[in-house]
């Protein structure tokens, strides 16, 4: 586990090809980033169902909504900094409000975008999209789960936001993994501390758990891939078993996955917890690994948060 890496974007392109072959109702809309997002591969086999609208993100959203109104399953996306970054009004009023069957799949989420800098490092999108009524939010852990999730949501009515990363990431799941909507995956049992992670922080959580194990600490790891609707039962179960929770995400700690977990625990089972994520700041230009270390998004940071919890009295 974790010795192999693969790109979520490539998995997205593969999923689109399979979906396009299975149904003529599947259409793809892009905004001049289809080569980078790998959604452009759809055009090679299904050019009549592929629409590149250029650098016009608001149009992308509205055209996808129109396709959905015509009975299509519309996949649309670009970089996360542009959608939802530039298109919140159109997403809210043209997709979420009428509850249309549009799947927004966007790449380049988080600060791991790297050298493009703060202007392209989207760290607010989970907060924006999970607060939008009727919108469902998924942050896959790796390429395998990305492909499975994209294929699964094509059959689930209504709007989705799926957030992918730019760089290749460690492969967490075995081939053949089947994504189950709204059901978190317990990757590791534990009793001393529960680590709840999403996206590329899931492999970091697994590394942290192994390091903690070497120190005699039993850490559970939960992949909370579906942020909304959140798997309340899974979150509460881990909290009950471990008594302490660390959340880990490549997103602002305000409003993101950690906030969603805190909301659940605050109402269902008050639990000591710490949030690992971007500390309410913008990023900067740098290599992805450098930025992940500087902004505290590594296995070592998760391990430190867990250690701090273990020395805190309940």
Q: What is the mean pLDDT of the chain?
A: 97
What would the pLDDT profile of 18-68 be if each residue is shown by its tens digit?
A: 999 999 999 999 999 999 999 999 999 999 999 999 999 999 999 999 999
Which of 142, 170, 198 is the C-terminal boundary of a domain? 170
Q: Is 57 a catalytic residue?
A: yes
272/143 same-domain check: no
62/189 same-domain check: no
Which of 139, 170, 201 is the C-terminal boundary of a domain? 170
Does residue 176 belong to any structural domain of this protein?
no
Give the domain range for residue 87: 6-170
What would the pLDDT profile of 188-210 be if each residue is shown by its tens digit?
A: 999 999 999 999 999 999 999 99
**Of 2-6, 118-122, 239-243, 262-266, which range is least confident?**
2-6
The whole model's pTM is what? 0.96
244/285 same-domain check: yes
**Of 94-98, 141-145, 286-290, 308-312, which range is least confident?**
308-312
Instruction: Identify the active-site residue in 57, 124, 204, 249.
Output: 57
Contact, 274 vs 133, CB < 8 A? no
Q: Could you tell me the CATH number of the domain that includes residue 153? A: 3.40.50.970
Does residue 200 belong to any structural domain of this protein?
yes
Tally of domains in the chain: 2
Does residue 300 belong to any structural domain of this protein?
yes
Does residue 178 belong to any structural domain of this protein?
no
Q: Could you tell me the CATH number of the domain that includes residue 197? A: 3.40.50.920
Does residue 180 belong to any structural domain of this protein?
no
Does residue 18 belong to any structural domain of this protein?
yes
Does residue 179 belong to any structural domain of this protein?
no
Provide the pLDDT confidence category of residue 159 given band limits of 50, 70 and 90: very high
Does residue 250 belong to any structural domain of this protein?
yes
pLDDT of residue 38: 95
149/248 same-domain check: no
């Amino acid at each position: 586990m974790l010795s192999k890496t693969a790109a979520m974007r490539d998995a997205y392109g593969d999923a689109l090809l399979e979906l396009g072959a299975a149904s003529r109702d599947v259409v793809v809309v892009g905004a001049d980033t289809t080569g980078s997002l790998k959604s452009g591969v759809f055009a090679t086999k299904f050019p009549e169902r592929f629409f590149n609208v250029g650098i016009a993100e608001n149009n992308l959203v509205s055209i996808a909504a129109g396709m959905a109104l015509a009975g299509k399953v519309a996949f649309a996306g670009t970089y996360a900094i542009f959608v939802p970054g530039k298109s919140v009004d159109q997403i809210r009023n043209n997709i979420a409000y009428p509850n249309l069957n549009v799947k927004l799949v966007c790449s380049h989420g988080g600060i791991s975008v790297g050298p493009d800098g703060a202007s392209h490092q989207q760290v607010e999108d989970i907060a924006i999209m999970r607060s939008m009524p009727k919108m469902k939010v998924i942050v896959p852990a790796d390429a395998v789960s990305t492909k499975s999730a994209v294929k699964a949501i094509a059959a689930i009515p209504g709007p989705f936001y799926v957030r992918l990363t730019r760089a290749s990431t460690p492969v967490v799941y075995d081939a053949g993994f089947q994504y189950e909507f709204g059901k978190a995956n317990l990757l590791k049992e534990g009793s001393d501390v529960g680590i709840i992670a999403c996206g590329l922080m899931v492999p970091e959580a697994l590394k942290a758990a192994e390091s903690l194990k070497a120190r005699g600490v039993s850490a559970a790891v939960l992949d909370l891939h579906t942020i909304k609707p959140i798997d309340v039962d899974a979150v509460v179960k881990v909290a009950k078993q471990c008594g302490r929770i660390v959340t880990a995400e490549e997103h602002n700690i305000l409003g993101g996955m950690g906030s969603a977990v805190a909301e659940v625990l605050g109402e269902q089972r008050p639990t000591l917890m710490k949030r690992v994520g971007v500390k309410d700041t913008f990023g900067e230009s740098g290599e992805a690994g450098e930025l992940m270390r500087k902004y505290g998004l590594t296995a070592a940071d998760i391990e430190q948060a867990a250690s701090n919890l273990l020395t805190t009295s309940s």
